Amino acid sequence: MTRQIIFALVFLITIGAFYYTISRLIVYFRLTRPAFKVKDFGKRFGIMMRVAFGQTKIFRRPFIGFFHALVFWGFCVIIFGSIEMVIDGITGTHKVLKFLGQFYDILIASGDIFAILVALSIIIFLSRRLFFHIKRFEGIEMKRRSHTDAGISLSLILLLMISLMTMNMGYIGYKELTGGSIDGIYPVSRILISLFPGIAAETFKLIYEASWWTHILTIFFFANYLPYSKHFHVFMSIPNVFLSRLEPLGKLTNMESITREVRLMIDPNTAFAAAPAETPVGRFGVKDAEDVTWKNYFDSLSCTECGRCTSVCPANITGKKLSPRKIMMDLRARMKEKGPLMVKNGRDFSDNRSLLRDFISEEELWACTTCNACAQECPVNINHPSLIVDMRRYLVLEEASAPGELKAVFNNIENNGAPWQYSAEDRLQWAKDLEINII
């Protein structure tokens, strides 16, 4: 009974801390602007199964993608054992899901196998970060904290897998020596336990108990560490893929307020129609964190900082300052900085800083070619260009700020009705002496 009380208290603290963190993030989402309406659930489910669960984009880098997929699939299987541990801890039962019979045996055996596969994968990931210079892990946005965070998260996962294996070893070792029945199948742990002969039953029981508490407490700590870590994608990646934009990547959405004005101008019938009710027009484009859509912010929280987007960005490859990964990390950092102040003082609060310029420079934004290579490569379907384009819209529409070449194009469109520096009457002069029939 004492064990149940201790477990229940720890569990309540874990849930309370997690609720506090998530509720704060929900408040930040309320500061953002609306995005698209979520529909076509069947199509979204298919994308989620293919990209998130099937890990199809991860496998574009086959070697390391295979090990990442093992980690993801391993967590999907091992989570059932974690749920069982929580139920056992609260109710005082033991192996409460064993009533599932053969399905339970398959789950336990799969978890036992994946434990060692995930552990080996994590060792490979840690080795790559510690002993190899992986270019996409570097960049001006990748501070020491990012590398430390990755090391902590990977180490916690490794501890989870080791404690799971030792827990299984302690369990079957104690049951075999005391003649008890073993629930579940443990193919890997049986092999590992044979490497340690001569261990007493009480020692196995002690190993089991210590590993059980180590494993579940690490899960509780990890769950509350993740929202403050780049590995928050453990929670966010699957829903972010489900909420992917369904339009082609190259499609740029129109601004509702501008579209409405254009339609009013080109439709003669509106000249005598009753004036529509005044709709307050907000800021054109994105200047700061509160101007982004909820999907932009969701993208930033889902970013794994893997650098696959930046590694394929043609602007970055040719030496420009643009890094799509940095754009997402900057939005996340800016909301973390300004979000609490807006919650306290209102959405219109200004701290004399902004996402634009204080975090992201104009040079970065105008370097983007909107080729969408970053969005195509992102393993969790983040759409970087949508945010970049909206920030450029703010520069043009609110500040009339753009590179000189673009300003010349804008002036020509305004004066000549075309991007070229010729009047409408002179546009066809180039074909004057050619045998071309101009209709």
pLDDT digits (tens, 9 = 90+) for 72-89: 999 999 999 999 999 999
Nearest of 33, 34, 17, 32 to residue 338 by alpha carbon: 32
Contact 328, 292 (CB under 8 A): no
Q: Give me the pLDDT at residue 425, please.
A: 75
**In sequence order, what DSSP letters do the residues of 90-151 get, joined into one string?**
HH--SSGGGGGTHHHHHHHHHHHHHHHHHHHHHHHHHHHHHHS--GGG-STT--HHHHHHHH
d(CA 371, CA 392): 15
Q: What is the Cα–Cα distance from 366 to 391, expressed in whole angstroms? A: 10
In this predicted structure, the answer to whether residue 271 has a pLDDT above a threshold of 60 is no
Whether the per-residue pLDDT at 394 is higher than 80: the answer is yes
Please report the pLDDT score of residue 378 as a whole number.
95
Q: What is the DSSP letter of 293?
A: B
Q: What percent of the chain has pLDDT over 70?
A: 96
pLDDT one-digit tens code per residue, 197-210: 889 999 999 999 99
pLDDT band per the 50, 70, 90 thresholds, residue 430 = confident
Q: Where are the domains of the chain?
A: 2-30+61-242, 256-262+283-423
pLDDT of residue 438: 59
Q: Which fold has domain 256-262+283-423?
A: Fumarate Reductase Iron-sulfur Protein; Chain B, domain 2 (1.10.1060)
HSE on the CB side for 347, CA within 13 Å? Answer: 12
Say if CB 322 and CB 367 are below 8 A apart.
Answer: yes
Specify the pTM.
0.87
Residue 48: strand pairing partners = none
